[in-house]
Amino acid sequence: MAALTPLVVGPAARPRAAAAARGPASPSGQPAGSLRGALLVARAGASYATEWEMYRAECSFHQLHMQRTLQIMQQLSREFRGEWHTYTAEAAVAAGAAHLRSPAAEAAETGTVWRRKKMAKAVVQPAADGTPIVGDIFDDAMRPGGYHPVTVGERFNEGRYTALYKLGQGHYATVWMVLDGHTGQELAMKIVRSADAYTAAARTEVSILEHIRDSAAGTGHTGAQHCVRLMDTFTHTGPHGTHVCEVFEAMGDDLLTLLKEYNFRGIPLAVVKHLTRQTLSALDYLHRTCNIIHTDLKPENVMLTEPLRPRGGHSFAQPPAELDMVGLEPRLLQMGAKVVDFGCGCWTDRQFSEEVQTRQYRAPEVILGAGYDDAADIWSLGCMVFELVTGDLLFHPEARPGQWNEDEDHLAQMMEALQPMPREVATSGKWSANYFTHDGRLRNTMRSLQPMPLDWVLHQRHQLPSEEALALRDFLLPMLNFNPRKRASAAQMLQHPWLAQ
């Protein structure tokens, strides 16, 4: 390697030049690759008029890739949040609906899946709109009982629907944008895995969706238009079995994606109120008219009626189109929102599982095994509104081996943010004795409580003005009452003054 001419570099470049000068050589006698890079960077720095220009030169090539990597990492971390709890709820629904498996067999199966999912690394597949889609690396998802291997242009339901591009996938199904040959509309089609348990769960979901759709006639309830609408359902037989397919109106992005666009720093209050009114209207319709409990309300399961960015035709290798953040708020205030994904839903008088709701949005009565009703959805909404405003989870329990488990931390976090849990609630469940003494105190004394009232958290930690923090606290507390019988209903929350401010 030819000798480099002496360089005169500024302070920012000197550490790299010094490291290269004293660093070890590679077996070939030349500096190691990383050190050659440092030498070249230092040498290039001499030709720049300022060190700031040198810094920009170093970063310019990698900046785009770093941003893309960050987006992917955020999606991976957020989309796997609580996935195990969602999976167990789905499996329990299927087991309860089909009566196919014993509890012991189900526990063995779900435990195996969880261990494999923990070991699995996620892969990112390109969607047509450039959105990363998280998938399982295990090939056994593409086998008899698993996903249907859709190809672009494939036709479904006697040729009526043509697959255009993939929208996403989850443990339960893949979702594709399809063209309806009868109407010319683009619609979203969910293709459920073909195993018996998933088929049984899908048929239950279809019955719930049909009831939601058909109950709207004659009621005049505006909440019906804020629930996703099932357009068609049929079965499709492929190499991996027979799959239940559900066709829906095409939707936009979910509220978790919207949170990402705001860098998890919270969505403008006016938009949060707009979205919350629509979600409450949907819940009031579900609870009072349809007698349905969603059981898995969270930002991922509320979708905008329009995409934030144009769909289709974008390469994954290219960054997504820049979003006009200045004009976004007015756009959002004109958009509708709908509650989606009733795969874990149930009837108020016919429930399929005791353990429901994604962990961070789970109501205390579910943790304690005290039974649940539609008030559990209201608790989840309270958690979700806090998240939309702040960009942060209200409760994010974590186990600490040898000290406390996830449920103990979750209950403790609830009591830190709200108040001591009333004794009659703390001791009301069949699992209460695992967590509380007979007089309602936490049994695990290693998990000491550090009270952090909601208004303090909103004002001090999330920098909301004091008046706004107090107003939001007053809106959240009725939804986060420990006693489900005293928790506000969706109809009552729709009358709360915070929504009209």
Active-site residue set: 296
CA angle 39, 43, 48 (to 5 degrees): 140
Could you give the CA distance from residue 344 to residue 296 in angstroms, rounded to a whole number?
7
Strands 241-249 and 230-238: antiparallel
The helix-helix angle for 466-476 and 375-390 (nearest 10°) equals: 160
**Which residues contact residue 60 at a Cβ distance below 8 angstroms, ignoring those fewer than 6 apart?**
none
Residue 190 labeled ligand binder: yes
Closest to 475 in 3D by CA, of 497, 458, 459:
497
Residue 209 has phi, psi (to 5 degrees) of -65, -40
Could you give the CA distance from residue 483 to residue 363 in angstroms, rounded to a whole number?
10
173: helix, strand or coil: strand
- Is the distance from CB of 73 to CB of 324 less than 8 angstroms? no
Could you give the CA distance from residue 335 to residue 304 in angstroms, rounded to a whole number?
7
Maximum pairwise Cα distance, the chain:
86
Strands 230-238 and 186-192: unpaired
Could you give the CA distance from residue 365 to residue 382 in angstroms, rounded to a whole number?
15
Q: 134 - beta bridge partners? A: 124
Please write down the HEC assignment for all residues of 219-287. Answer: CCCHHHHHECCEEEEEEEEECCEEEEEEEEECCCCEHHHHHHHCCCCCCCHHHHHHHHHHHHHHHHHHH
- Residues at the annotated binding site? 190
Return binding residues for ATP: 190
